[in-house]
Amino acid sequence: MQWNSWLRRWRWERRMDAEFQFHLRSLIDDYVGQGFSHAEAELRARREFGPADLAKEECRDERPLAQFDHLLRDVRYACRSLRKNPGFAVAATLTLALGIGANTAIFSVLHGVVLTPLPYREPDQLVVVALYNRALRYPTDLSYPDFLDWQRDARAFGQVAAFKPQAFDLTSPGTPEHLDGNEVSSTFFSTLGVTLAHGRNFSPEEDRFGGMPGRDHQ
């Protein structure tokens, strides 16, 4: 690859030289044609032609893949500098690693919390309404009668459901297990707009105080 690109460049340089040489020779030929001696013709031609280094340098910038070569040169130079100065290389790498790591961590959280919509029907219409005791500066629970009032009177919402975190200990069957869950009102799943993967939904009668657990009608 390296050898190849070097060869390509060498050929390209030779062709450019040949083109400039041709121009100079043609000038000499013209002066000879005008009757000058060969030596005199060459002198005049060279004077008229002038130094070509600047023009050649400009032509090199137009070489196909010249930009790519410049990039390679920069990368090589960067690698050389880093090798010459390992302390700096380590510091730079660590800085990059920490920077990228921190950004990734922040983005992961942001992505989960803010950017990804909740997996419910119309997630942008879902809100959590909670009570907060300003004097104590503490969230407080909502009583069941208050919830019923909210459910009946709230005009701003299509549907209201209640939930309360509740942990359970499952002892049978098998090894006892601690489960984190929620106590929810019967409207909970329809408010979120999810369908149950398994089992049945709660019936409104089960919301009533002292109501009996509903029976599976199937």
Partner 1 sequence: MSGHAELLQGTLDMLILKVAALRPIHGYALAQRIQQISKEALQIRQGSLYPALYRLERQGQLKSEWKTTDGGREAKFYSLTKAGRQQLNAETAGWKRLCDAISLVLETVE
Applying the rule CB under 8 A, the residues between 25 and 54 that interact with partner 1 are 25-27, 29, 49-50, 52, 54
Binding partner 1 by CB under 8 A: which of 3, 4, 35, 62? Answer: 62
Q: Is 22 in the site for partner 1 (CB under 8 A)?
A: yes
Nearest CB to partner 1, comparing residues 68 and 168: 68
Task: State the minimum distance, in angstroms, from the CB of residue 70 to partner 1.
Answer: 14
DSSP line for the chain: -HHHHHHHHHHHHHHHHHHHHHHHHHHHHHHHHTT--HHHHHHHHHHHH---HHHHHHHHHTSTTHHHHHHHHHHHHHHHHHHH-HHHHHHHHHHHHHHHHHHHHHHHHHIIIIISPPSSSSGGG-----EEETTTTEEEPPPHHHHHHHHHH--S-S----EEEEEEEE-SSSS-EEEEEEEE-TTHHHHHT---SSS-PPPGGGGSTTPPPPPP--
Q: How far is the CB of 77 from partner 1 (least distance, A)?
A: 24
- CB nearer to partner 1: give 64 or 87: 64
Nearer to partner 1, 29 or 141 (CB): 29
Residue number, 70 or 200, with CB nearest to partner 1? 70
* Binding flag, residue 55, partner 1 (CB under 8 A): yes
Identify the residue among 8, 9, 13, 20 touching partner 1 (CB under 8 A).
Answer: 20
How long a stretch of residues is the chain?
218
Q: Which is nearer to partner 1, 68 or 77 (CB)?
A: 68
Q: Which residues bind partner 1 (CB under 8 A)?
A: 15, 18-20, 22-23, 25-27, 29, 49-50, 52, 54-56, 58-59, 62-64
